[in-house]
Amino acid sequence: MERPSLGPVDRESYWGWVASALFLLLPVDLFTTLLCAAVVGPDAESNPWMAWLLAQPPSLLVAVHVAVGVAAVAGFAAYEAVSRRSERFGAVMLRAARLYLVLLTTAGFLIFLNNLGVLLFRRSFLPALG
């Protein structure tokens, strides 16, 4: 019995999702987090890693975000390279990665909305983050 084909995978849209997720989770989150720290104070940050980074020099904060971005792009590039070599699972791997990236982008958007809530209303919209 022949298995149905999933069809060709659009690799360009995959990288669009990578860019969207990283844009929301790195510069947008960094900028809104810095604004929140200026408005409500750095002690209000619920993420312990970010709270620690906010106490460090700004150059370290930016360097860590750049390093995370470079590592993420390298990781996704390696994942895509493996998917290209796998005739059997390559398309499935990219579809799974795209689903992960959609979820990651959604999380980034929710974090952005939460930061806006902190800026506008001085409280978190997400109970687990407040």
Asked if pLDDT for residue 127 goes beyond 80, the answer is: no
> Which two structure tokens, joined as six digits, stand for 12?
């360009």
CA 75/CA 4 separation, integer angstroms: 30
Among 32, 19, 4, smallest CA distance to 105 is for: 19
Residue whose pair of structure tokens reads 């990236």 in the numeric block:
101
pLDDT tens-digit map of 23-77: 999 999 999 999 999 999 998 888 899 999 999 999 999 999 999 999 999 999 9
Express each pLDDT in 62-104 by its tens digit: 999 999 999 999 999 999 889 888 878 888 888 899 899 999 9
Count Cβ atoms within 10 A of the Cβ of residue 53 and give its class: 0-12 exposed, 13-18 middle, 19 or more buried.
buried
Phi, psi dihedral angles at 126 (to 5 degrees): -100, 110
Is pLDDT of 129 > 60? no
Instruction: Report yes or no: 43 and 129 within 8 Å, Cβ to Cβ.
Output: no
Sequence-ordered list of residues with C-beta below 8 angstroms from that of 41, at least 6 positions apart, any chain = none
Res. 5: pLDDT tops 70: no
pLDDT band at 4 (very low <50, low <70, confident <90, very high): very low
pTM of the model: 0.80
Tokens of 32: 């809104």
The percent of residues above 90 in pLDDT, for the chain, comes to 59
